Chains A and B, each alone.
Chain A
Amino acid sequence: MSTPEATETTGHGDISTGVAGGDSNASATRITPGNALRPEDIALEVKTGLVKPTEDIAEYALRLGDDALILAQRLGHWISRAPELEEDIALGNIALDQLGHARSFLTYAGAAWDKSEDDLAYFRREHEFRSVQLFEQPNGDFAATIARQFVVSYYQYELYRRLTESTDATLAAIAAKAVKEVDYHRDHSAQWILRLAGGTEESRTRMIHGLRLMWPYVNELFQDDDLTQRLAQAGAAVAPSSLREDFDRLIADVLNEAELEVPDVPAAPGGGRYGKHSEYLGYILAEMQVLAREHPGASW
């Protein structure tokens, strides 16, 4: 999360270096910050009064932000623990992508209640979090994490793809940035589903087990409620149920290629959108929030 100073940044610093500069001591490749929507840009728009979400939109952004935030925290735990160094960084990149989405959504949501992204991330209690339960499920072994990534990335892709057409310009802009990143997350998880399912007997067994662990939480992703129906009718949000058909078709393509089946398991009761969480979320929050709560207002 940002420091107060960072939220006041108005432009991209020039950090380009390397071959273009003609410096023979520079890195072989050139690095640039690129030019994309950042959470700081949204914070600036909020601060200058350019954007202010309605209560409904803020509540919706909070849901999507919480999903991404909890997943980022979960994935971050893989850093230094992945099967290979390369995979360590791949999962770390995905975690950072999710954290970026979380920061954007929470910054925007907070504008309705005069709260910063940090206020929302660090100073809410468990029952105030609006993430669905899939995102807080334990990492398990690598196959379980891949199973969770598989469901999440195919769900988020369908969601963000449609949300780019939202009548709310900020939600549409966040989705436009996120959808490209989530597209890569889909590819990452699908590649691993194929390899683990088609690898050794052990990897296949673990992949099947991982999918069984995560599948009870799939239903909750696609449940409509009053809020999403109101917003979907206004064209600002996407009705979760409308994503189901494409999700089912696309994951079936990958599972068929991997010669796997959709697990036949009963759905969990859910309730994450209303603050009902599995026993895991409290522990995640304890670890994620402890530093900010020990030293309120500290910047680093």
Chain B
Amino acid sequence: MSPHGNPDAPASSATEINREAPNASPKVEAAPEAGPAVDHHDRSTWGLWEVFVRSSRGLSHVHAGSLHAPDAAMALRNARDLYTRRNEGVSIWVVPADAIAASDPDSKGSFFESPQGKDYRHATYYTKSEGVKHL
């Protein structure tokens, strides 16, 4: 995988949780539930797009905000005009907002709190053995 993630095969947080805590039965929902998905071919309204900006080489794209645009080409241009006016970026991704699956805010406990208290997952939990170099 490329250092900045492959947009075609994103590393999903859901599979991450599944692998580490098989019994947690996480609830994954295609958020947002409010309102029907925006039809990107509908000419009467512009669809919602999420914008990700990379501020410099070597850093990852970071979610910067959202915008409206009639198509992907214009979404990129609008993103350039809205989110890189102060020299913020060297690369932009735009994604239709309804193409993003998000974790359910209500299942925070089962989804995200399991790693708490599991100190042994951090390197600092372990004491360095004698004679080990380069640690």
Contact = CB atoms under 8 A, between A and B. Distances in A.
Interface in B39-65: 43, 46, 53, 55-56, 59, 62-64
A188 B81 CA distance: 11
Interface in B67-90: 67-70, 73-74, 77-78, 80-83, 85-89
**Which bracket fits the contact residues of B?**
20 to 34
A200 B73 CA distance: 19
B68 A28 contact: no
Interface string A81-109: 00011110110010000000000000000
Contacts of B80: 184
Contact of A29 (B70, B77, B89): B89
A194 B70 CA distance: 13
Contacts of B78: 86-87, 89-90
A180 interface: no
Contacts of B85: 89, 93
Interface of chain B, helix or strand or loop or mixed? mixed
Nearest to B74: A191
A29 B74 contact: no
A84 B46 contact: yes
Contacts of B53: 28-29
A30 B88 contact: yes
B55 A19 contact: yes
A199 interface: yes
Given A28-B63, A33-B87, A86 B55 contact: no
Interface in B3-49: 43, 46
A31 B82 CA distance: 13
A257 B129 CA distance: 71
B129 to A, nearest CB: 32
A29 B62 contact: yes
A253 interface: no
Given A86-B78, A195-B74, 19 more contacts: A19-B59, A28-B62, A29-B62, A29-B64, A29-B89, A30-B55, A32-B88, A33-B86, A34-B87, A84-B46, A85-B68, A86-B68, A89-B81, A89-B82, A90-B81, A184-B80, A188-B77, A191-B74, A195-B70
5 contacts: A31-B87, A86-B68, A89-B81, A89-B85, A184-B80
Interface of B: 43, 46, 53, 55-56, 59, 62-64, 67-70, 73-74, 77-78, 80-83, 85-89
Complex A-B, nearest 4 residue pairs according to Cβ-Cβ distance, in ascending order: A31-B86, A29-B88, A86-B78, A34-B87
